[in-house]
Structure 1
């Protein structure tokens, strides 16, 4: 992209994205172009970040390493579900990812944790995320039992309406009561040192 196209795109995007000004949007567009600038094996340039490149950025730049969570972060950024994160999706996603308000980050984290998209985090979803993120000890006879116990503890903290799952409202209330619960099921936001 030439400089004028980048500037025009940055102007347009910065009007819709709350946490980045025009200059910052321009820098993010340039970084996006660096990340996507290499042609694919077929020789065609891809106009976005595919899942592999995106997850590589999460690993290398932001230190996110849980494959289940990074896959969900990709799906959260990819708003149109076309398998590619466009420059607009990239900047909109980074706006919340890097500088979002607590309210925005609650919505984002909930979206990452709601594995099946039914607007609730079930026991099964909690179990899969915690099982994936916890380190197993070789001496444990049945680590799944410990994870099930942990799920029950988390549900007691989050399930305000006592329906056996954490709805968005349950999750929001729990996080507002205790901010550490924002990333209760795995790290899906960058560490403040990385930002």
Structure 2
């Protein structure tokens, strides 16, 4: 990509990027172009395929869970793909993500209580399940809720290491 074309793209994307400054946008474009160049498929001029994306998630962030790598955050929790996160799906995600502690209490009761709390906090239309709109509003209001039912994003340490490495390497290009 020519320097002029890169600058035009940075200017264009920079106007709409709320969470990145122009240097970061330029670094992300360079990273994308590097990933596309590394992709050995016939679609390399358009983008990179799922395998390159998954390889990047694995190598950069140590992510290995197929369910997490194949979906975005809402879809990770919408296990049956019906467009809603139901009480049962919340229960399963929490049950799988919480450590089991030996106690006399039934652990499922504690998980049911957590589901009730999550629904009370996130279910804005009070229909007993989370739509994407409910989820999006809850996460925008309190981003700690993004991983309310278990991790769906790389951990902070991996993210910071990736960011430092990426921005250092792409500045050299």
So what's the TM-score if we normalise by structure 1? 0.58
Q: Which structure has the larger Rg over C-alpha atoms?
A: 2
Q: Deviations over 1:50-90 (max 9, x none)?
A: 222112222221233322122112xxxxxxxxxxxxxxxxx
Distance 1:132 1:155 in 2: 13
Distance 2:140 2:118 in 1: 8
Q: Deviations over 1:114-162 (max 9, x none)?
A: 35252x31134335545665789xxxxxxxx96x656523321122266
| Number of positions where the alignment pairs a residue of Structure 1 with one of Structure 2 | 149
- Residues 155, 166 of structure 1: 8 Å contact kept: no
Q: Which residue of 1 aligns with 2:51?
A: 52
| Local SS of the residue matching 2:38 | coil
1:121 to 66, 85, 93: 85
Q: Which residue of 1 aligns with 2:115?
A: 155
Shift of 1:180: 5.0
Report the RMSD for the aligned CA atoms in angstroms: 3.6
So what's the TM-score if we normalise by structure 2? 0.64
Distance 1:191 1:15 in 2: 29
Q: Which residue of 2 aligns with 1:37?
A: 37
Shift of 1:31: 0.8
Unaligned runs of 5+ in 1: 74-108, 137-144
Distance 1:62 1:149 in 2: 34
